[in-house]
């Protein structure tokens, strides 16, 4: 495979020396970029964009043409696995993702198949292979999946939710049913991420978007345990390199010490956790990724730079920081403000890596 020209991101995840703090942005390929809007219009709709390897590759590479980012992230969706299980994913205008056939009973859960990543999800692997070829070793490619708990919330609720009453009702009244579902999802995610690694991604990330809605006990039993199971089953080396794993639980700052025990290489932080506190908590056990509030990208350049400087100072000297937003970039952020951030992080971080 191609020689990696910039491995700063992978080195930071493994807490190895770098010349400056690497930076990428969640949802860096997305609606805030006019060129993305044009490619999505060409595809016709969001899932058609995900399923066309050439177009998925094009939108993955678009932010790299604008900004000196240190990583590319596969353009896909966290709900590809439930879709491949036959739930009928579609996107309602202004409503977000929905499922035609949400899970209503234990019987529905028992019938769920475990998708073969090179069959039902081959379009994702084709996108990975196409992106790797076109990246030409400029920066590493990140693969990802939703966490079992997060995928289960959409599958049981039928789409997005504010109160999560259906999945919590299942959790408290039929925990065995929920455990069966989460077990199938953990197996599916493990196969899916390993297939992405074999296809060419050089790091993987597990997005636990809704872990933060659980109690501490609930989080350990219904979210963390299944992410731990996935990590235990992942390929950790490919192409002669370590494949780092990042866990990100939005709203999970209070569980960082427990997350760090799973064998992951890095933890993602949202903006509600102070990065200095997080570093003191986990020590040198794992790297940290984060964690600017995406809304700061609405501000003037000077304010964006100030925030970047504060986060870099909060982490302090030494290795193991990947700069990122605390969640995805907002669709109405001016693209030039993202440029201000990337260049500020590179410039301001050099003194922390003497």
Q: What is the DSSP letter of 137?
A: T
Q: Is 129 annotated as a binding residue?
A: no
28 is in an annotated binding site: yes
The pLDDT of residue 1 is: 57
Helices (H), ranges, the chain = 8-13, 34-43, 46-51, 53-66, 80-82, 106-110, 122-135, 148-157, 165-173, 175-199, 216-219, 225-233, 256-259, 275-282, 301-315, 335-349
Q: Is 27 annotated as a binding residue?
A: yes
Residue 217 has a CB neighbour count (10 Å cut-off) of 8
Residues marked as catalytic: 27, 31, 40, 77, 154
Backbone dihedral region for residue 88 (phi beyond 0: left; psi -120 to 50: alpha; all else: beta): left
Three-state SS for 255-323 is HHHHHHHHCCCEEECCCCCCHHHHHHHHCCCCEEEEEECHHHHHCCHHHHHHHHHHHHHHHCCCCCEEE
321 is in an annotated binding site: no
Report the chain's terminal Cα–Cα distance, integer Å.
Answer: 31
> Is residue 327 part of an annotated ligand binding site?
yes
Q: Is the CATH code 3.40.50.880 the one for domain 8-352?
A: no
279 is in an annotated binding site: no
The pLDDT tens digits for 89-101 are 998 777 789 999 9
Q: Is 30 annotated as a binding residue?
A: yes
Give the rounded distance of the alpha carbon of 317 from its chain centre: 26
pLDDT attached to residue 93: 75
Q: What is the pLDDT, as a whole number, of residue 249? A: 98
Q: Which of 23, 13, 10, 11 is nearest to 349 (CA)?
A: 23
CA angle (133 as vertex; 127, 138 as ends), nearest 5: 115
Q: What integer pLDDT is reported at residue 169 of this predicted model?
A: 98
Measured at the CA of 26, the angle between CA 270 and CA 5, to 5 degrees, comes to: 120
Q: Give residue-wise pLDDT tens across range 183-219.
A: 999 999 999 999 999 999 999 999 999 999 999 999 9
DSSP symbol at 213: G
Instruction: Give the pLDDT score at 3.
Output: 86
**Best CA proximity match to 189, nearest among 159, 223, 237, 234:** 234
Q: What is the mean pLDDT of each run of 10 residues along the chain (354 residues)?
A: 90 98 98 97 94 98 98 97 96 85 96 98 98 98 98 97 97 98 98 98 98 98 98 97 98 98 98 98 96 98 98 97 98 98 98 96
What is the model's pLDDT at position 165?
98
| CA-based max dimension of the chain | 59
pLDDT reported for residue 9: 98
């Amino acid at each position: 495979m191609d020689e990696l020209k910039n491995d700063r991101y992978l080195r930071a995840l493994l807490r190895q020396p770098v010349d400056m703090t690497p930076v990428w942005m969640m949802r860096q390929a997305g609606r805030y970029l006019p060129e993305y809007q044009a490619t999505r219009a060409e595809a016709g709709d969001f899932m058609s964009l995900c399923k066309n390897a050439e177009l998925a590759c094009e939108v993955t590479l678009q932010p790299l043409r604008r900004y000196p980012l240190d990583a590319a992230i596969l353009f896909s969706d966290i709900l590809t696995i439930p879709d491949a299980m036959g739930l009928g994913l579609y996107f309602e205008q202004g409503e977000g993702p929905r499922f035609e056939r949400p899970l209503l009973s234990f019987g529905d859960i028992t019938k769920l198949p475990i998708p073969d990543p090179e069959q039902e999800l081959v379009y994702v692997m084709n996108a990975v292979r196409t992106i790797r070829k076109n990246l030409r070793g400029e920066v590493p490619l990140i693969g990802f999946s939703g966490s079992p708990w997060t995928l289960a919330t959409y599958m049981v609720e039928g789409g997005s939710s504010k109160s999560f009453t259906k999945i919590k009702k299942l959790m408290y009244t039929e925990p065995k049913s929920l455990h069966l579902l989460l077990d199938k999802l953990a197996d599916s995610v493990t196969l899916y991420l390993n297939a992405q690694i074999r296809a060419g991604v050089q790091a993987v990330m597990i997005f636990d978007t809704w872990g933060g809605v659980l109690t501490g006990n609930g989080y350990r039993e219904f979210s963390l345990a299944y992410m731990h199971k996935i990590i235990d089953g992942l390929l950790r080396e490919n192409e002669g390199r370590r494949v780092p794993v990042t866990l990100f639980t939005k709203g999970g700052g209070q569980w960082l010490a427990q997350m760090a025990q799973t064998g992951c290489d890095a933890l993602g932080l949202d903006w509600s956790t102070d990065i200095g506190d997080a570093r003191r908590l986990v020590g040198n056990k794992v790297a940290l990724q984060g964690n600017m509030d995406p809304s700061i990208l609405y501000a003037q350049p000077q304010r964006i730079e100030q925030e970047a400087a504060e986060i870099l100072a909060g982490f302090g000297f030494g290795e193991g920081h990947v700069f990122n937003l605390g969640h995805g970039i907002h669709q109405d952020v001016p693209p030039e403000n993202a440029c201000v951030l990337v260049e500020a992080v590179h410039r301001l971080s050099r003194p922390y890596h003497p």
